[in-house]
Amino acid sequence: MERLHESLHEAPIIDKDGYEYLVHPISNGVPVLEPRLLREVIIDIMQQSNFDVDKIVAPEAMGIHLATALSLQTDLPLVVIRKRSYGLPGEVALHKSTGYSESEMYINDIESGDRILIIDDLLSTGGTLAAICGALDNIGTEIVDIIVVIRKVGQSAMDDLEHDVTSLVDITVEDGEVTIQWPSTHAASAQIWLCFPRSHKRHPLIASIEFRQSQTRRHRWRKSSPTQLSKQHKKDACMSHR
């Protein structure tokens, strides 16, 4: 996750009434989001997510570009939780509170029994994600997995819920600086790139997806050492792309 790390250190930080707000391409769309950074993030999400689900769910607005890329690669339907009501049958309203704002959001097209993968850009105070999880629990869905790109270390509203959240990188923002709390360069992703000769024309994102789907069991790299990859996994990765 070299590009993600670099972008975090380069991102501006502004003050919002005493709250240090990180302005990052993934979480704000500003500064400009380079395709290489987005591709790197999507590859890592593909390797960590459980796609044995019925739908991908993302909150407006900055979860949409991530979830769209995943929907295109997995053929899973995408549901966006919007900030405006459409008054459709079965629409569910929820109230969310973050470190700097409060507002309403609205859920459509999710039913009891749906297996859900939630994708979002940033977990900070956890107000938005906790409100969404609470609403989905009340609907009767099964939240199979929750993936965020960036997690700001500290107390979160998600601490009170029984849902695990996987992050690609954990950070602190203090005194105008970003500190990365643990390395997120997953060996599996690196190995895929290394196994490709320069003349290979297959897109590295597709290669990553094929590698992820070829595994017989799911690997959550963040719950072990992120840089560990067994010799057998390295061999399998190389052999599958020769």
User: What's the pLDDT at 182?
Assistant: 65
153 burial (CB, 10 Å; 0-12 / 13-18 / 19+) is middle
H/E segment holding residue 204 = helix 204-214
User: What's the pLDDT at 214?
Assistant: 43
Give the number of C-alpha atoms closer than 13 A to the C-alpha of residue 91, restricted to the C-beta side: 14
Neighbours of 228 (CB within 10 A): 12
Q: How far apart are CA 61 and CA 74, in angstroms?
A: 21
What would the mean pLDDT of 83-91 be, rounded to a whole number?
96
- Higher-confidence position of 224 and 96: 96
Q: What is the largest CA-CA distance in the chain?
A: 54
The angle subtended at Cα 55 by Cα 166 and Cα 64, nearest 5°, is: 65
User: What's the pLDDT at 205?
Assistant: 52
- β-pairing, 19-22 vs 13-16, is antiparallel
Written as six digits, the tokens of 116 are: 């859900």
User: What's the pLDDT at 37?
Assistant: 97
**Per-residue pLDDT tens digits for 97-128:** 776 678 899 999 999 999 999 999 999 989 99
The pLDDT of residue 43 is above 50: yes
Q: Under CATH, what is the fold of the domain 2-182?
A: Rossmann fold (3.40.50)
Residue-range domain boundaries for the chain? 2-182, 185-242
Written as six digits, the tokens of 75 are: 């053929």
* Per-residue DSSP letter, 94: E
The angle subtended at Cα 118 by Cα 11 and Cα 184, nearest 5°, is: 45
Strand-pairing partners, residue 152, are 171
Residue 41 to residues 37, 153, 216, 225, Cα–Cα distance (Å): 6, 19, 23, 19
Q: How far apart are CA 111 and CA 114, in angstroms?
A: 6
Q: How far apart are CA 12 and CA 10, in angstroms?
A: 7
Angle, helix 204-214 to helix 187-194, in steps of 10 degrees: 120
